[in-house]
Amino acid sequence: MKTIVVKVGSSTVADDSLRLRRRLLAGLVADIAELVHGGRRVVLVSSGAIACGQHVLGVSERPHQVPALQAASAVGQGRLFAHYERLFGDHELTAAQVLLTSEDFARRDSYVNARNTLRRLLTWGVVPVVNENDTTATDEIRFGDNDVLAAQVAIMLRADFLVLLTDQDGLYTRDPRKHGGAELVRRVTDPAQLAALDVGDASRRGAGGMRGKTAAALMAAAANVRTIIANGSRPGTLTAAVAGEDVGTQILAHATSASAFKLWLRYAKPVRGTLEVDAGATRALAQGGSSLLPVGVKAVHGSFAAGDAVTIVDPAGDEIARGISTMSARDLRRVRGMRSDELRALNPQLEDEVVHRDRLVLVGEEAG
Ligand code: GLU
């Protein structure tokens, strides 16, 4: 049974005067209902809580400060979900509100719980309506743009499609708002193409813009989820995209045999620090599938606790792996460069490994 994650941004959900685009949303929900009644599993990721809250409160300018954004979102989210609930009800479907933060993806137990909840809702034929839990998300860890949140939900569920609906027809060779000659990119087969596009900055109302979409598509492609970026204001776009018609920009996926744990570590767990390792450790990690030992660590950057994710870079500064550190940055700074016998003499409680091989993902491994 196919699973589809569809995301709509604030500019699609609300118009310039911050009113919900009722006709467009009704059309979108009708498309989703058709897919669900046809046996597909669909998750809707919708932004627009802040815009909706601004409208209720009569605040026309998007607030700059996080508490004001959070408060506007708290006002708007209830309205937004109530609207979707009514629309799905018209198609005899039940909607469920699911609010997530990046912390929920960072902690393994929350991640597994969220995945189980979503899976159960989909088994029941319910449509989860997901947004970021803006109330508790703090500035530095906000998804901000829900494109990355949607990609992470798609990866979590090993979805077949991630459909990002926006107010443009897809990705362009250059920012079409600035360059008349910009051309629509129909198909991306190599993710490197994405990084090369000049996609412009954040959109006016939401926080994402095309930059967030290319990041989301990169993640999804590496986790074997096909992404389609298309215009959400054209009726029937979602149905056409899922039917394989040539709409918007299609970003092809790679098959992956990586475990859900490795995908989570590579794409969902926020990195809190960097470990520079020597040439010997680089070789041992890349070739031998070894754990990272203190003796191979040359420098420690950042402030992290045991259990946080770190990125591991080779002597040239290139990322070679990500893993979960068994030690805090403070402990690791004291023991870096030490052999295991020296380590045990210093403190027998410390782990031999800084990052155990089972809790490490090599860059590129998830694509294999
Ligand atoms: N969670 C936000 C919302 O629903 C995402 C979009 C934004 O930051 O504007 O409004």
The string of pLDDT tens digits covering residues 226-240 is 999 999 988 899 999
- Give pLDDT, residue 44: 98
Atom of ligand 1 nearest to the CA of 146: 5
Question: Is the shortest distance between the CB of 131 and ligand 1 below 6 Å?
Answer: yes
Count structural domains, the chain: 2
Asked whether residue 160 carries a pLDDT value surpassing 90, the answer given is yes
The count of C-alpha atoms lying within 13 angstroms of the C-alpha of 309, restricted to the half-sphere facing its C-beta, is 22
Beta bridge partners of 271: 309
Asked whether residue 274 carries a pLDDT value surpassing 60, the answer given is yes
> Any idea which of 78-87, 106-115, 264-273, 278-287 has the lowest mean pLDDT?
264-273
Question: Is the shortest distance between the CB of 134 and ligand 1 below 6 Å?
Answer: yes
For residues 175 and 83, give the distance between their C-alpha atoms in angstroms, rounded to a whole number: 33
Picking from 249, 264, 279, the residue at the C-terminal end of a domain is 264
For residue 161, the domain's CATH number is: 3.40.1160.10
CA of 244 to the centre of ligand 1 (A): 29
Same domain, 260 and 274: no
Q: Which residue has the higher pLDDT, 275 or 106?
A: 275
Model confidence over 164-212: pLDDT tens digits? 999 889 988 887 777 788 889 999 988 777 777 766 654 444 444 677 8
Angle at CA of residue 251, ends 250 and 252, nearest 5°: 110
Instruction: Return the residue whose CA atom lies nearest to atom 2 of ligand 1.
Output: 47
- Give pLDDT, residue 14: 95
Percentage of residues in the chain having pLDDT higher than 90: 62
Q: Residue by residue, what is the 3-state secondary structure of the chain?
A: CCEEEEEECHHHHECCCCCECHHHHHHHHHHHHHHHHCCCEEEEEECCHHHHHHHHHCCCCCCCCHHHHHHHHHHHHHHHHHHHHHHHHCCCCCEEEEEECHHHHHCHHHHHHHHHHHHHHHHCCCEEEEEECCCCCCHHHCCCCHHHHHHHHHHHCCCCEEEEEECCCCCECCCCCCCCCCCECCEECCCHHHHHCCCCCCCCCCCCHHHHHHHHHHHHHHCCCEEEEEECCCCCHHHHHHCCCCCCEEECCCCCCCCHHHHHHHHCCCEEEEEEECHHHHHHHHHHCCCECHHHEEEEEECCCCCCEEEEECCCCCEEEEEECCCCHHHHHHHCCCCHHHHHHHCCCCCCCCECHHHEEECCHHHC
Choose one of 44, 57, 73 to mutate for the ligand 1 pocket test, by most ligand atoms within 8 angstroms of C-beta: 73
Picking from 230, 264, 298, the residue at the C-terminal end of a domain is 264
Q: Mean pLDDT across the chain, nearest whole number? A: 89
Asked whether residue 350 carries a pLDDT value surpassing 80, the answer given is no
Model confidence over 89-103: pLDDT tens digits? 999 999 999 999 888
Same domain, 251 and 321: no
Same domain, 44 and 127: yes
- Give pLDDT, residue 205: 43
Mean of pLDDT values over 21-44: 97
Same domain, 342 and 219: no
Domain that holds residue 10: 3-264
Model confidence over 114-159: pLDDT tens digits? 999 999 999 999 999 999 998 887 665 566 679 989 999 999 999 9
Report the candidate in 92, 105, 87 with the shortest Cα–Cα distance to residue 44: 87
Question: Is the shortest distance between the CB of 48 and ligand 1 below 6 Å?
Answer: yes
Mean of pLDDT values over 15-34: 96
Mean of pLDDT values over 241-260: 87
- Give pLDDT, residue 186: 92
- Give pLDDT, residue 145: 72
Same domain, 153 and 51: yes
Choose one of 45, 46, 47 to mutate for the ligand 1 pocket test, by most ligand atoms within 8 angstroms of C-beta: 47
For residue 327, the domain's CATH number is: 2.30.130.10
Picking from 231, 264, 297, the residue at the C-terminal end of a domain is 264
Model confidence over 40-57: pLDDT tens digits? 999 999 999 999 999 999
Same domain, 8 and 86: yes
Same domain, 212 and 286: no
- Give pLDDT, residue 138: 65
Same domain, 147 and 207: yes
Same domain, 212 and 87: yes
End-to-end, the C-alpha distance of the chain in Å comes to 24
Same domain, 247 and 284: no
Whether the model clears a pTM of 0.95, i.e. scores above it, the answer is no
Mean of pLDDT values over 63-69: 88
Question: Is the shortest distance between the CB of 203 and ligand 1 below 6 Å?
Answer: no
Instruction: Return the residue whose CA atom lies nearest to atom 7 of ligand 1.
Output: 206
Beta bridge partners of 164: 7, 229
Question: Is the shortest distance between the CB of 144 and ligand 1 below 6 Å?
Answer: yes
Asked whether residue 73 carries a pLDDT value surpassing 90, the answer given is yes
Same domain, 312 and 183: no
Percentage of residues in the chain having pLDDT higher than 70: 94
Same domain, 223 and 278: no
Question: Is the shortest distance between the CB of 325 and ligand 1 below 6 Å?
Answer: no
Return the top range by mean pLDDT from 31-35, 143-147, 222-226.
31-35
CA of 133 to the centre of ligand 1 (A): 9
